[in-house]
């Protein structure tokens, strides 16, 4: 298997400030191959994806682009005391993702989006935009609201960070691990966010082909999330994996690769 290219850095401007964004190309080197963009989870980064982007992009024959959002990986770090606004995922979907693509000269392309967890929600929100360029979206364990089921998993995550080895584990992937974890955990555990964060009205606008994937033993959200998207986006397809937790692309990668291939072939998106 071809080794992935070295991470590179681009810059985007936001509110008059320059932000460094680390990114990486994987998969096909054919400039005519379909563009597949990977959107990482709430505590993820380029390195946290591990083998998955290279394997999926190569299997599908796509150019794979992955990047670390500001506050993650080696991109511009975030102040640990910064509070994320309730619409921070909208900002990632509607402003930062288009800005990254534009900075790479890809504004004219129609990407396929592959998002996990928070990245899945970002893919949904981007595809829901009136001017969205997304050709299709593949969302693994996305969220559309905050349900009580999530509270236990979040509390476990915070305790693991404060008292266990989660901070040490995550520090391998992020320039400023506290700046990654603390604003994210404060946002999702705040009463205001839990009561008011809801993107159901947004996702009803999605028109592009949509594949939803979730394990039935996901420790952070129930199947009400993917079934909720299906109710709002009737053309969306769903794959529910028995005995699988929050990261099915790590637990059943071969099955996911084959399902993604069939989905994209069914919609003639790999020509």
Q: Is residue 209 part of a domain?
A: yes
**CA distance linking residue 256 with residue 250, whole number of Å:** 9
- Residue 92's pLDDT band, with cuts at 50, 70 and 90, is very high
Q: Is residue 2 part of a domain?
A: no
Give the angle 81-87-92 at the CA atoms, nearest 5°.
90
DSSP 75: S
If you average pLDDT over each of 4-8, 62-66, 149-153, which comes out highest?
62-66
Q: What are phi and psi of 266, to 5 degrees?
A: -60, -30
What's the total number of domains in the chain?
1
**CA distance linking residue 114 with residue 122, whole number of Å:** 10
Q: Is residue 49 part of a domain?
A: yes
Q: Is residue 104 part of a domain?
A: yes
Q: Which of 94, 92, 204 is nearest to 144 (CA)?
A: 204
Q: Is residue 3 part of a domain?
A: no
- Residue 5's pLDDT band, with cuts at 50, 70 and 90, is low
**CATH no. for residue 244?**
3.40.50.1820
**CA distance linking residue 264 with residue 60, whole number of Å:** 9
Q: Is residue 127 part of a domain?
A: yes
Taking only the tens place, the pLDDT of each residue in 200-253 is 999 999 999 999 999 999 998 899 999 999 999 999 999 999 999 999 999 999
DSSP 30: -
Segment 83-101 shows an average pLDDT of 97
Range of the domain at 211: 8-266
Q: Which residues contact 245 (CB under 8 A, 6 or more apart)?
A: 215, 217, 218, 219, 251
Q: How far is CA 269 from CA 62, 170, 223, in A?
A: 10, 35, 27
**CA distance linking residue 216 with residue 228, whole number of Å:** 14
Q: Is residue 106 part of a domain?
A: yes
- Give residue for tokens 């401007």: 13
Residue count of the chain, please give it: 271
Q: Could you tell me whether strands 8-14 and 17-27 are parallel, antiparallel, or unpaired per DSSP bridges?
A: antiparallel
Q: Is residue 1 part of a domain?
A: no
């Amino acid at each position: 298997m071809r080794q992935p290219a070295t991470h590179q850095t681009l810059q985007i401007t936001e509110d008059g400030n320059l932000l460094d964004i680390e990114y990486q190309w994987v998969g096909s080197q054919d400039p005519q191959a379909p563009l597949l963009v990977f959107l990482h989870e709430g505590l993820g980064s380029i390195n946290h994806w591990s083998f998955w982007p290279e394997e999926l992009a190569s299997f599908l024959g796509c150019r794979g682009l992955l990047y670390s959002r500001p506050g993650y990986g080696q991109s511009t770090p975030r102040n640990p005391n910064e509070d994320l606004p309730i619409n921070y995922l909208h900002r990632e979907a509607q402003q930062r993702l288009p800005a990254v693509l534009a900075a790479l000269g890809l504004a004219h392309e129609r990407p396929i989006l592959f998002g996990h967890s928070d990245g899945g929600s970002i893919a949904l929100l981007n595809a829901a935009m009136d001017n969205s360029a997304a050709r299709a979206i593949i969302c693994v364990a996305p969220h559309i609201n905050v349900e009580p089921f999530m509270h236990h998993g979040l509390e476990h995550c915070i305790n693991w960070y404060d008292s266990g080895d989660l901070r040490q584990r995550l520090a391998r992937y992020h320039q400023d691990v506290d700046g990654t974890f603390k604003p994210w955990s404060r946002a999702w555990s705040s009463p205001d966010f839990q009561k008011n964060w809801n993107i159901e009205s947004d996702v009803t606008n999605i028109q592009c082909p949509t594949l939803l994937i979730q394990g039935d033993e996901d420790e952070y959200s129930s199947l009400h999330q993917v079934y909720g998207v299906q109710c709002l986006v009737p053309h969306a397809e769903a794959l529910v994996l028995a005995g699988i937790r929050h990261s099915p692309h790590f637990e059943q990668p071969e099955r996911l690769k084959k399902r993604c291939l069939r989905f994209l072939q069914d919609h003639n998106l790999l020509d």
